[in-house]
Amino acid sequence: MLPANPFDLSGKIALITGGSRGLGRAMALGFARAGADVALCSRKLASCAETAREIEALGRRAMAHACHVGHWQQLEELVATVYEHFGRVDVLVNNAGMSPLAPSSLETAEELYDKVFAVNLKGPFRLTALVGTRMVAAGGGSIINVSSTGSIRPAPHIAPYAAAKAGLNAITVAHAHEFGPTVRVNCIMAGPFHTDISKAWSRGEEFTAQARRTFALQRAGDPDEIVGAALYFASAASSFTTGAILRVDGGLP
C-alpha cells in the first residue's frame, strides 16, 4: 500500500553524481525539498560545496565530494565516504556526463572516445554495481540513470556520446534484473535542457527555429522540469516500475 504522499523522501539518503550544476543540481534541490539528505559529487569540489550549502539552507543534511566518475578507484572512495558519513544510500542518480562534439569519426581521438565512454557508461556501470550490491544487502533502493535522446536519435557529431548513452539504456534493464526485486533501476532519457553546458546553443536562433518545427512543446526544457520524473523514480510512487526508460524531451518526434 502506498503512503499518503508517495513522493515523500523524508529520511532518505540520495547520492547524485554531477550534482553541482544543471540537471544534477535541480534534482539535488528537488530531493531536498521532498525531505531527502543529499550527497553530491563532481570533479570540482567548490561547486559541489556551493550546492551543498543550498541544500543545508533547506534544512537538510548534505555532503560534497570530489570525484571523477570515470575512475573506478575514485568511485570506491566515494562510496566508502558516503556510507561512512550517512550510513546508507537509498537513491543513486547516475547523472554525471560529458558530450563533446566529434569532428568526424576519422578525426575522433582515442583519448576523447575513451573519456566519453568512461564518464557516460563505465562510471555508471561500476557505481551501480557498488551501490546496488549494498542496497540489496540493506533491503532495497532506487537507482536512476540519466541518458539522452541522442541514444535513439544519434548524429555523426555525437556518435561516441550517443553510443555510450545507448549502452546506459541497456545496462539500466540489465541491472534492474540483476538487483531486483528489492532494488529498482530506471532511466530518464533527457532531451535538450537549458544548462550552462548547452547555453551556447539551446537559446540560439538556429535551435529555437528547429524546436518550433520539430518539438511538440517547441522549446528546450528548464532544469527544474526534470525533477518530477526523478522524484517519481526515487520514491514509492514508482514501486512497480523498474527497467523503464522514460523520455523527458519536450515531445521529440
Catalytic residue positions, numbered: 161
E strands present in the chain: 13-17, 37-42, 62-66, 91-94, 141-148, 183-190, 245-248
| CB-based burial, 33-58: b 16+ in 10 Å, e otherwise | ebbbbbbbbbbebebbbebbeebeee
> Across the strands, what pairs with 39?
15, 63
Query: How many whole angstroms separate alpha carbon 81 and alpha carbon 90?
Result: 15
Of 14, 24, 55, nearest to 143 (Cα)? 14
Query: How many whole angstroms separate alpha carbon 148 and alpha carbon 144?
Result: 13
